[in-house]
Every structure is written in structure tokens, then in C-alpha cells.
Amino acid sequence: MDREAAGQRHAEIRVANVRPVPDPVLARPPPTRQTGRKERLNFLYPLTVLPGVELTITASIDPVAPPPGYDACGTQSTLPAIPGRTVRWCYSIRNVSSIPRTRHTLVTTQSGSVLNDFQYTLAPDAAAFITATQVMGATAIDEAATWTAFRPGPVHLSTATATARVLAVADVIFITGFDPGT
């Protein structure tokens, strides 16, 4: 899910016991709402909260003879595949927060633990991916994954989940030179 699809969530934070600020340069913008009780003022400011990370799973079918180091990601989350072909799952993570994430754990239904407390700095608004492969069987494969990204001390933890599916299809036979009019 991208930022536009997720939308921004708004929350209000209550600030209590606010004192006047003598320097106008340091003054905060006017509050959205103000209530007074004797000597105490409560201010409510809008705060935009974004999720920490977003995960996408895509699938592709590897070429029959892939070149050395082949590690391409597909673009579809549902894909038909012929049994016996190699399916490549691509797990793409994007940091949509303002905090770098330095440790990563990825657990999937098909491959189990792919990453476990892996050290990699994922900067704000940056993305990374990792792939895993398996041979297509005679039945559909449903993949689900959970990616946990965090930064220790103080802990900033974010978790994202995603799903994808590969459908098993029979071999297709193409007949050429056939004229249905005769």
C-alpha cells in the first residue's frame, strides 16, 4: 500500500500548563482549540501520524535458464504459473517514517524465517527488497509475510504484512496452421 492509498491519519496531542513565550520567533502556531480553567490552559495541536513501514509482495516466474546472479522482482501480486517452474517471491519494504530502521526480521508462510534481526539501515523514504524462490507444484500457493523493522535504543518498532498468490495452470497447447473454416 502506498502513501496515497494509506492516507494520513490525524491525532490530537493535549499540551498542558503552557506558559507565554517571550520571543515571538519561538512562539508556536495558534492552537486548533483552546480551553481555559482558572490558571491552566489546554491546547490541542494536529499531529500527522504515518505508519512506520509498508510491505509489498510480488511474484514472478524465473526464466528457464536464468543468468548468474538473476534476482529480478515481478510486478504482480497474483500470477498464473505452470507446475515445475520456479516462482520468485519479492518482498519490498519502504520506510515511510522519519526514523531510520536498522534491524529487520522477515517471516513468511512459504519460506519461514528469511531475515532474523538483520542489520541494515533503511533511511526514511528509502526502500529495499529481498527475494526467495520455490518450485511451483500442482496447487495454488498463497504467500503471506510479516516484516518487522526497528531501531533499538529508544526502540522504534514497526510491523507490516502483505499477501500474494500464484495459481497453478496446466500446460497450454498452441495449434498453428489450423483453419476452422474447412
- State how beta strands 156-168 and 9-16 pair: unpaired
Look at residue 87 and tell me whether its pLDDT is greater than 50: yes
**How far is the C-alpha of 168 from the C-alpha of 136, rounded, in Å?**
7
The burial of 180, by beta-carbon neighbours within 10 Å (0-12 exposed, 13-18 middle, 19 or more buried), is given as exposed
Encode pLDDT of 27-54 as tens digits: 444 444 455 544 444 445 444 445 689 9
**How far is the C-alpha of 37 from the C-alpha of 17, rounded, in Å?**
11
What burial letters (b/e) apply to 121-136, b meaning 16+ CB within 10 Å?
A: ebeeeeebebbbeeeb
Look at residue 136 and tell me whether its pLDDT is greater than 80: yes
What pLDDT, on the 0 to 100 scale, is given for residue 180? 52
Beta strands in the chain (DSSP E): 9-16, 33-37, 40-49, 53-61, 78-81, 86-95, 101-108, 112-122, 127-135, 141-151, 156-168
pTM: 0.66
**Residue 141 and residue 87 in contact, taking contact as beta carbons nearer than 8 Å:** yes
What pLDDT, on the 0 to 100 scale, is given for residue 170? 67
